[in-house]
Structure 1
Amino acid sequence: MMKIIRNIIGLFAIAAIAITACKKDNYEAPESMLTGRVVYQSTPIGLRSNGVQLELWQHGYDFFSKIPVYVAQDGSFSARLFDGEYLLTRQRGVGPWADNTDSIKITVKGNTVVDVPVDPYFLVKSAAYQRNNLTVTSTVNIQRVNTTKNLEFVKLYIYKTALVDELNQDAATVVPAANIQDINQQLTITATIPASLANGEAVYARVGVKTIGVPELAYSAPEKIQLK
């Protein structure tokens, strides 16, 4: 008899779980889109794709939930959300900029656009490229913005796709800060296209600038270098 009762109780429990699951499946998915850019003076910061994460926080009924938002290499980000009030925060010690722990209040109602201002240490102000056979030469202008940290190096990267950065490279040339006499003067960097890419249609070049003690770099936009 007790075994029968336990079986009945078990069936009721399974049914309750199934009903709860069905209710969850019937919840509407979020339909509003939050988009934006990480910017300095309205100009987006070039980054390593998904190397920098922002955080969205929203009050729930009984908790404070976090939504991670990864930033693309062009400084843009997006998240599909429910309408409501959110706090957006910049993680400490992650991006190539000075820490700012102030939260940004965001009201999401339909498609919402917001730019996130940052205070970068250094920027690649401009980068021009020339190819001579398998040699790529970049003429670079670096801008120092926040003076609390020093330059570590400037680097020219070559890669087979546009997703080129410190972790995705086929060739690179680094110029240490000790070899740069004046950060305000144009810098010329040359890199060699590796033989493994020489017969392809194109490669991509990009310049990154590294700050001492900061893990992520600030980058120029990737440039397509046509080979054929």
Structure 2
Amino acid sequence: MKIKFHHIILGLLLATMGCKKDNYDAPSSKLTGRLTYKGAAINVEYNQVPFELYQPGFGKTGAIKGTFQQDGSYSTLLFNGNYKFTIPPNQGPFMWKELASGKRDTLAVTVSGSQTLDIEVTPYYLINNTKITGASKVVTAVFDLQKVITDANAKNIEAIVLYINKTQFVSAGDNQIASTNIAGSAITNMNNVSISVNVPTITPTQNYVFARVGLKVADVEDMIFSPVVKVNY
């Protein structure tokens, strides 16, 4: 009987320890922001451009990972403390600063309650002054292109693509119902570039689509986009 009593006490202690271990408060400080260049939002493909946060000296060496929304925004829940923010190599249609050692630079972030932090990057190109209109089941985009990086890191335009979709998620793959493109080599004037795409039959019928322009940089996986707009046709 005495042995059984000791077993009961030991079980209660272990259960109590287990509850304490499982009852730590969840992270509650929200870090939000967006990708920007000189204050202007950088639009990317939904859930395709990742970021990483590290908390030095906290006993955890792995990264807290997340991805940007298609409007370049992000949101993550963290514990209060000091973090290092970075974007992994070969990710995003922009340049991220690297150290002399060749390693990715990091942005120091001090989290003390919820806050907003925009992430400044340098895109290879910008899509400016975009006007997207619709008529007679045709969607047309007119826009200007700006080459931002012009030094030894400069890259050419591989293609310009106009995407349309039934929903507000617009890009390649399953997030389009139609698209058309212009080869970069065919662009002779960076101003008033025009591109059009026919709207296919949509079931169930709707008299609008969502559209945006994507720019594919040569040798860069991720595209930069204009903002998504709703277009009646």
Common fold by TM > 0.5: yes
Contact 2:32 2:74 in 1 (8 A): yes
Aligned to 1:139: 142
Task: Look up the match of 2:226.
Answer: 220
Counterpart of 1:171 in structure 2 is 178
- TM-score, L = length of structure 1: 0.88
Tell me the distance in 2 between the aligned counterparts of 1:51 and 1:11: 52
Question: Hey, what's the Cα distance between the residues in 1 that align with 2:149 and 2:105?
Answer: 18
Give, in angstroms, the shift of residue 60 of structure 1: 4.6
Matched, 1:162 2:168: yes
Which of 19, 22, 25 lines up with 1:22 in the alignment?
19
Change (3 A) 1:41 1:172: same
Offset, 1:13: 8.8
Instruction: Show the counterpart of 1:43.
Output: 40
Question: Where does residue 51 of structure 2 map in the other structure?
Answer: 54
Asked if 1 retains the 8 angstrom alpha-carbon contact of 2:45 and 2:171, the reply is yes
Alignment match of 1:86 (pick from 83, 87, 94) = 83
Q: Alpha-carbon deviations, 1:189-225, whole Å to 9, x = none? A: 0100011258214211110001001111000111101
Correspondence for 1:113: 116
Say which SS state the counterpart of residue 95 (structure 2) adopts: coil
Alignment partners' CA distance in 1, 2:184 and 2:206 = 33
SS of match in other structure, 2:108: strand
Q: TM-score, normalised by structure 2?
A: 0.86
Contact 2:133 2:232 in 1 (8 A): no
What is the Cα deviation at residue 111 of structure 1?
A: 1.2
**Whole-Å separation in 1 of the counterparts to 2:52 and 2:70:** 17
CA change 1:178–1:136 in 2 (3 A) is same
Task: Give the number of aligned pairs.
Answer: 221
Question: Counterparts of 2:160 and 2:29 in 1: how far apart (Å)?
Answer: 40
CA deviation profile, 1:128-186 (whole Å, cap 9, x unmatched): 12212111111121111113111101110010111101231110010001111122x21
Q: Does 1:75 align with 2:72?
A: yes
The match for 2:198 is 192
3-state DSSP of counterpart to 1:178: helix
1:65 counterpart SS class = coil
Stretches of structure 2 lacking an aligned partner (at least 5 in a row): 98-103
CA shift in 2, pair 1:12/1:159, >3 Å: farther
Over 3 Å counting, the alpha-carbon distance change for 1:142 and 1:86 in structure 2 is same
Gaps of 5+ in 1: none
Amino acid at match of 1:127: T
